[in-house]
Amino acid sequence: MAEKLPENPEFEPLTRTQVLIAMAVTAVILLAVAKLWLQFGAVSLLPVKLIGIDLLKGCAIGLAISGVSAIVYHLWPGYRRSADVYLEVVLKPLFWPDLIWLGLLPGLSEELLFRGVMISALGLNVTALVLSSLSFGILHLGGMQQWPYAVWATAVGLLLGYSVLDTGNLLVPIVAHICTNLISSCIWKWENQAVKRF
């Protein structure tokens, strides 16, 4: 059973419209940065190849991230608090069909920038992997109290980045990211609606 969150002055409640607009604007900004980087940098986007086994790898990685996230959520109180605050702000006002957008928009825009362009631009090596993952973690830092969530996002970024370096296919982290967002948001929404019913 989820615990009641304390009032958090760091985050104001948002409306459904505000959350959807924020997601869309963030996705457009990330896509614009990726496009500008591709346009003016000596870099090319890593390929997205529709290969069945890579599609399955992406799904498996998404399931694994969601499973490990659930374990970390229960074992690390700091992560649980920061995840709950973040997810309460983002998910609480959304309707169930909105979760599709929550899966797709960040899954596509963040992967195109952080894995598709940044890792390629920085050299397709361990340094590129670490720097892109740290940048991905910082994107998820909603405030200083949210540092455990940013640490988790950095770890996820490392795994997603490794998956693209290993396969050479941007489809893998895109599918993994979309699956992770969909699974995690559906579970959180379901659990929090169940708590309200009792």
Q: Tell me the pLDDT band of 41, cut-offs 50, 70 and 90.
A: confident
Q: Where are the domains of the chain?
A: 16-23+50-197
What amino acid occupies position 109?
S
Look at residue 142 in the predicted model and tell me its pLDDT.
77
pLDDT in tens, 48-68: 999 999 999 999 999 999 999
Q: Backbone phi, then psi, for 55, in 5-degree steps?
A: -60, -45
Question: In the prediction, which pLDDT does 104 show?
Answer: 93
For residue 9, pLDDT over 50 is answered with no
The token pair at 192 is 């929090």
User: What pLDDT does 198 receive?
Assistant: 47
Share of the chain above pLDDT 90, in %: 73
Q: Note the pLDDT of residue 5.
A: 42
Amino acid letter, residue 158 = L
How far is it, in rounded angstroms, from Cα 171 to Cα 152? Answer: 22
pLDDT tens-digit readout, 68-80: 999 999 999 999 9
- Which strand (E) or helix (H) includes residue 75? helix 52-75
pLDDT digits (tens, 9 = 90+) for 106-135: 999 999 999 999 999 999 999 999 999 999
User: 20-31: per-residue pLDDT in tens?
Assistant: 999 999 999 999
DSSP string, 107-158: HHHHIIIIIIIIHHHHTSSHHHHHHHHHHHHHHT--SGGGHHHHHHHHHHHH
- Does residue 195 register a pLDDT over 70? no
Q: And the tokens for 9?
A: 């002055």
* CB of 167 closer than 8 Å to CB of 121: no
Q: How confident is the model at residue 8 (pLDDT cuts 50, 70, 90)?
A: very low
Give residue 194's pLDDT. 60
